[in-house]
Structure 1
Amino acid sequence: MTKHTVLTIDDHEDNNLLIKYYLGKSFEVQIAKSGKDGLDILDKSNVEVVLLDIMMPGMNGYEVLDAMLATPKLKNIPVIMVTARTEMEDVREALTKGAFDYVKKPIDFTEIHHKINVAIKYKKQSDELSRISNYKQFYEGLIHARRLQQSILPDKQFFRSIFPESFVIDLPRDIISGDYYWVNARHSNKFLGAFDCTGHGVPGAMLSVMGNILMNKAILQDGAISPKDIFRSLACDFNASLNNSTDTYTIHDGMDGIFCSFNEEKKQIEYVSANRPLIIIRDAKKPLFYNESMIEASLSDDKYSIYLLKGDMRSIGRESSAINFKNHVIDLCEDDIIYLFTDGITDQINECGKNLSKKKLLEFLLGIQDQSLKNQKVALYNYIDSWRKDAPQTDDILVIAVQYKSPQ
């Protein structure tokens, strides 16, 4: 199968070589060491996505972008800006000029890999439907909606300030996503939730924004602390919002999710769930007490045990305000790893139409526990990608991992 071609333009050779090393297995990566060299390659080659460094001597990234947009042959090639600068003005300038997206240094290669795939999908569909005059405007609206949705979610720095040892894999199926996560801290509790709204694309994204707003209300405004009280507040408000509509098509709208409270004083995790399980991995020598009862591991090897813990088998929606969601309590051990995930990963099909499944996910996670969380993220992303291969992504995918460290 022919690889898609990506051009990286950066005056630092080490950056170019690093990008080629990490992305070379999936893409045909070409390298340019200056803006002028990059424009020469673009003129002669069939490049599908450009990774463009902003700060370069001679011709900087903004000038390269301007030159591409002024050239009919090049103006529709998606450009992902790469910047070490964190000022939003720089990012805003690049996006205003016409850049497709941006990533910050040091580069998160799972993030940039996904953004390249989205850019390729965008270019392919844009090319195929260019005869439809309003398509590009519509699609760019989706891109802008994705940026707005991302601005509502916690950014990486805020997430890591609360959970330093953690990672997030967030892969929308249709640019904008029906999956979202929520993180915050209050008193001695750290909160973390993962949610999967009905559908994907625009409908799912609208519900995810509503869910995020209602989560903020439940904790930051209403002052709820217990996960079951938070879910009850969320369910009541969600139900009230949906019931304002007389549209019968919204009767099945809602969301599944799992919400955890990490209590540092008690060294416990308390969680509540609507149709989503929780995964905990710990030292095989240490038993796990679940609601004060010791339980057997779902899977074990000589070093680690993995537990798949279920919750309430009900969704949050129109009928959920009357549900009393149940709290579950687990005593934590040092270096426990807690995984939250939506069903997009386990329902993902391969080329033969087979689902990845919870069983395969547990086996894979157990097999990578000797790796750091950073490497686990890369391994899991590559596993999803290799499982799917050329099969379409069937749903939004969200996976969160947190390693428990007792407070110093």
Structure 2
Amino acid sequence: MVLKNRLKSSVMELDNTSTKSSVLIVDDNPRNLQVLGGFLKEKGLLVEFAIDGHSALEWFNKRRFDLILLDIMMPGMNGFEVCRKIKENPDTCDIPVIFITAVSDTDSIVKGFNIGAVDYITKPFIQDELLVRIKTQLEAVRSKQLILEYLSNIEEKNKNINSSIDYARYIQNAVIQTSETSSKYLPDYFIIDHPKDILSGDYYWINNIDGQVIFAVMDCTGHGVPGALMSILGTTFLNDVICHKKILQPDKILECLREKLIHSLGQKQNSVVVKDGMEGSVVNFDQSTSTLTFAGSLNPMVHIRNNEMTLLKADRFPIGFYDKEAKFSLNTIKINKDDMVYLYSDGYIDQFGGPDSKKIKSKGFRELLLTYHELPLMAQKTKLEEYLNLWRGNLEQTDDILVVGIRF
């Protein structure tokens, strides 16, 4: 009784859901075509007929079907050959085929499934059972069509999103490059800039203001779109602070940048809504005195001279809201010819990889800088990128990566 109720339920569902489904019945017996076709039409299916294999294949030049009900014993071309041709054709290979035949030996059943049939029903069949099997296949077809539609929509949306992100990257690069208009007056330098995603939360700022060369390397909270928005905000603030207000001392630059971020993001000590901020380093090289001043937030500066490395430490608080009020400290050093200075975000240091899938870490990164610092700048860049790729292997990039090397 339970099985009978399920069969009746399936028949009713077929009536309600399959009105647009089309079935091709292939059988050389006109009586079979009439009986089965009439029954399926009563259940709301669109039915077409073919009396042999050749006429069945001709139908596929006219229209597409959701399901094929195929007899085996037919003159000229039997059902196995028809099924094989259907599955060999890229335009029809995904149409499910159900064999409905009086041939009931095991070898024929196995052969039918091997050449691509989804079901095999022997005559005489029970109509309600046949409808259940047809319903199952039509639901599978419908589900596949929906999935393909969803995938197509997702692909189109992703295409639009990627186009927008690519254009946003173009804008981000354009904003950053406006600071390099005086590059012919700058020391020699290289930049490794590898966003984790298309857009980056790391950014650099370079310019020459009245003989004072300003380099800034910043790391915004997050990466991708949120980080990129912060980076454009930060670049705009640096343009205002350095180029327009002529604030050139690194610690004062960071303090002004912090004030602007806190104000723009509505960060208040008692009600912080947006806790995002930045960390990074700023250096000022006075070409007239060969004096370099440095201030940093969380990210230090590496100075190498005569194979000796000096680490100028950064303050341990961010550029943005901070629970304790603190001012950025200023470091000053004299620069000699061929000195190397490196500024960087934490992306290179935090990259996982190597034989134990560990981070490169600060010590490992500084050892690389000391190893490569005497090479030409582009050779240094190449070596650092090659090491990073070898270290990372097949692992995902952990964060945005930004490294700037400067030779005086």
* Shorter-chain TM-score range: 0.5 to 0.7
* Matched residue, 1:253: 276
Matched, 1:231 2:254: yes
Does residue 287 of structure 2 align to residue 264 of structure 1? yes
The 10-residue stretch of structure 1 (134-143 or 348-357) with the greater mean CA deviation from structure 2: 348-357
Distance 1:129 1:317, change over 3 A: farther
Aligned with residue 194 of structure 2, among 171, 174, 177: 171
Q: Which residue number corresponds to residue 376 of structure 1?
A: 380
Conservation of the 8 A alpha-carbon contact between 2:186 and 2:208: no
**How many Å apart are 1:396 and its aligned residue?**
0.2
Partner SS, residue 238 of structure 1: helix
Using the TM superposition, give the Cα deviation of residue 157 of structure 1 relative to its aligned residue in structure 2, in angstroms. 6.6
Q: 330, 341, 359: which is aligned to 2:363?
A: 359
Q: In the alignment, residue 392 of structure 2 is paired with which amino acid?
A: R
Distance of aligned partners of 1:232 and 1:156 in 2 relative to their CA distance in 1, 3 Å threshold: closer
Q: 1:146 to 1:311 in 2, by over 3 A?
A: same
Query: Aligned partners of 1:202 and 1:321: how far apart in 2?
Result: 29
Deviations 1:184-238 (A, max 9, x none): 1112211000000000001111111000011111112222121121111111111
Residue equivalent to 2:328: 325
SS of match in other structure, 1:215: helix
Task: Give the drift of 1:252.
Answer: 2.3
Q: How high is the TM-score relative to the length of structure 2?
A: 0.59
Distance 1:257 1:162 in 2: 23
Which residue of 233, 240, 259 maps to 2:263?
240
Write the distance in 2 (CA, Å) between the matches of 1:233 and 1:361.
30
**Consecutive aligned runs of 4 or more in structure 1 exceeding 4 Å deviation:** 128-131
Q: 1:209 to 1:203 in 2, by over 3 A?
A: same
Which residue is 2:346 aligned to?
343
Structure number with higher helix proportion: 2
Residue 163 of structure 1 contacts residue 402 of structure 1 at CA under 8 Å; is this kept in 2?
Answer: no
Q: Secondary structure at the match of 1:154?
A: helix
Alpha-carbon RMSD across the aligned residues, in angstroms, is 2.4
1:393 to 2:394 alignment: no
Answer yes or no: is the 8 Å Cα contact 1:177–1:204 preserved in 2: yes
Cα pair distance change 1:167/1:320, threshold 3 Å: farther
SS of the residue 1:174 aligns to: coil
Matches within 5 A, 1:30-179: 132=154, 133-154=156-177, 158=181, 160-179=183-202
* d(CA) in 1 for partners of 2:359, 2:151: 31
CA contact (8 A) 1:243 1:318 kept: no
Aligned-pair distance for 1:158?
A: 3.6
SS in 1 for 2:296: strand
- Measured after TM superposition, the shift of residue 369 of structure 1 is 2.8
Deviation at 1:358, TM superposition (A): 1.1
What is the aligned residue count? 257
Task: Specify whether residues 370 and 324 from structure 1 end up closer, same or farther in structure 2 by C-alpha distance, changes over 3 A only.
Answer: closer
Are residues 272 and 142 of structure 1, via their aligned partners in 2, closer, same or farther at CA, if it must alter by over 3 Å?
Answer: same
Distance of 1:389 and 1:276 partners within structure 2: 26
3-state SS of 2:367 partner:
helix
Alignment partner, residue 66 of structure 2: none
AA matched with 1:148: I
Cα-to-partner distance string for 1:329-359 (whole Å, 9 max, x where unaligned): 0111110010000000000001643001111
- Which residue of structure 1 aligns with residue 75 of structure 2? none
Shift, 1:156, TM fit = 9.8
CA contact (8 A) 1:235 1:320 kept: no
Aligned to 1:317, what secondary structure does the other structure show? coil
Distance 2:254 2:309 in 1: 26
Q: Quote the residue 1:98 is aligned against.
A: none
Contact 1:236/1:321, CA 8 A, preserved across alignment: no
Measured in 2, the distance between the counterparts of 1:370 and 1:228 equals: 30
CA distance in 1, matches of 2:407, 2:343: 12
- List runs of 5+ in structure 1 lacking aligned partners: 1-127, 284-303
Matched, 1:273 2:296: yes
Distance 1:362 1:229 in 2: 27
Give the secondary-structure state (helix, strand or coil) at the position aligned to 2:390.
helix
What code does the residue aligned with 1:237 have? Answer: K
Q: Distance in 1 between matches of 2:334 and 2:171?
A: 38
Residues 284 and 292, structure 2, Cα contact 8 Å, conserved in 1: yes
Structure 2: runs of 5 or more not aligned = 1-149
SS at match of 2:353: coil
Partner of 1:315: 318
**What is the distance in 2 between the residues matched to 1:318 and 1:232?**
11
Residue 245 (structure 2) aligns with: 222
Larger radius of gyration: 2
